[in-house]
């Protein structure tokens, strides 16, 4: 009887241990797949390509009626694309919070009613191959009693050496603070070699 109780306890412990290992390995596989298929992962790959080719940006920034243009080298791409990283809703934490419409060359994620998430939509347009992303669009709307900020984001890509490479990007929007005038802004960046 003691032998069978020891065996039962041993097997229960072994089963619990194996279940925990299996659970964590499945979760890490899901997380790994999620990371590989995320917008953030795609943007990280673009940053590597842009750094390797030492890309230069012809940049145009406008605030209301004031516009400035300049050529920019040595860009911190992570900072430059911060809003695009924020628009990454391709994570399991957002499952069930967006309506997904898939057509031949487009995937559109639109926020469901009663969701309070800043990213209102994400659109990915691709060529014949789903891995050939031609365009990414998103809208971020952040507001409360004191302010409202709406930003429209867009990235366009071209095929170079069998890879999709960023051609240009833009951020257009407006910001309204309580008791102040509305501010319209835009940023446009054209990648040059």
Sign of CA dihedral 80, 137, 190, 183: negative
Report the interhelical angle of 39-52 vs 2-36 (nearest 10°).
50
Q: Can you give the residue ranges of every domain in the chain?
A: 37-192
Predicted local distance difference test score (pLDDT) of residue 136: 97
How far apart, in whole angstroms, are the C-alpha atoms of residue 134 and residue 26? 32
Which residue ranges in the chain fall short of pLDDT 70? 1-37
pLDDT by residue (tens digit) across 149-175? 999 999 999 998 888 999 999 999 999
Is-contact 47 80, C-beta < 8 A?
A: no
How far apart, in whole angstroms, are the C-alpha atoms of residue 119 and residue 142? 8
Is-contact 192 168, C-beta < 8 A?
A: no
Phi, psi of 118 (to 5 degrees): -60, -35
> The pTM is what?
0.79
Predicted local distance difference test score (pLDDT) of residue 36: 55
- Comparing CA positions, the residue from 14, 20, 19, 22 lying closest to residue 6 is 14
């Amino acid at each position: 009887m003691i032998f069978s109780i020891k065996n039962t306890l041993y097997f229960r412990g072994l089963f619990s241990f194996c279940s925990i290992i299996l659970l964590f390995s499945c979760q890490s596989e899901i997380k790994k797949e999620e990371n590989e298929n995320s917008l953030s992962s795609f943007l990280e790959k673009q940053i590597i390509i842009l750094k390797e080719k030492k890309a230069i940006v012809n940049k145009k920034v406008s605030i209301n009626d004031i516009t400035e243009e300049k050529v920019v080298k040595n860009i911190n791409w992570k900072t430059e694309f911060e809003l695009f990283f924020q628009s990454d809703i391709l994570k399991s934490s957002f499952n069930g919070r967006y309506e997904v419409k898939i057509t031949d060359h487009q995937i559109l994620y639109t926020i469901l009613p009663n969701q309070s998430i800043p990213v209102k939509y994400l659109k990915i347009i691709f060529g014949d191959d789903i891995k050939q992303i031609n365009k990414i669009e998103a809208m971020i709307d952040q507001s409360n009693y004191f302010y409202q900020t709406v930003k429209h984001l867009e990235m366009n890509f071209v095929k170079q050496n069998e890879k999709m490479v960023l051609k240009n990007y833009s951020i257009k929007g407006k910001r309204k603070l309580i008791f102040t005038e509305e501010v319209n802004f835009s940023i446009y960046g054209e990648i040059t070699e």
